[in-house]
Amino acid sequence: MGKFKEGTKLFIDLVGKHERTPKMITMMEGLVKEHDKFKIGQVIDFWGGANGDIRYRAEIIGFDTDGLIYVDWDCYWFPIADSEERELMLIKI
């Protein structure tokens, strides 16, 4: 697991927590498959939460045309940026 910031309260591992629904699979098919730095299926740790004090672990499911990374997030998906604030760290190649 990655380093923790001062005041970190929680680490949440979202990898493999639920099945891929038909709706999610359809959405994933519409995503960009290539990224300069990451690949679909890789697992990353990143900072999130309202105060940026929660460390998450999630699987990459695709990318958008702006280079944002979509991760499998519990019951839905959302994009994150590969930014200094998020401190993305590759966990599984």
Q: Is residue 52 part of a domain?
A: yes
Q: Is the pTM of this model over 0.85?
A: no
Write out the residue range of the structural domain in which residue 42 sits: 10-92
Q: Is residue 5 part of a domain?
A: no
- pLDDT at residue 16 in the model: 72
Cα 3–53–59 angle (5° rounding)? 70
d(CA 78, CA 48): 12
Report how many domains make up the chain.
Answer: 1
CATH number at residue 20: 2.30.30
Which is more confident, 7 or 84?
A: 84
Q: Is residue 2 part of a domain?
A: no
CA distances for 49 relative to 14, 38, 66, 85, 87, angstroms: 14, 22, 22, 12, 13
Of 26, 25, 59, the C-alpha closest to 41 is: 59
Which is more confident, 60 or 21?
A: 60
Q: Does the pLDDT at position 14 exceed 70?
A: yes
Of 66, 71, 61, 73, the C-alpha closest to 33 is: 61
**Model confidence at 1, in pLDDT bands (50, 70, 90)?**
very low
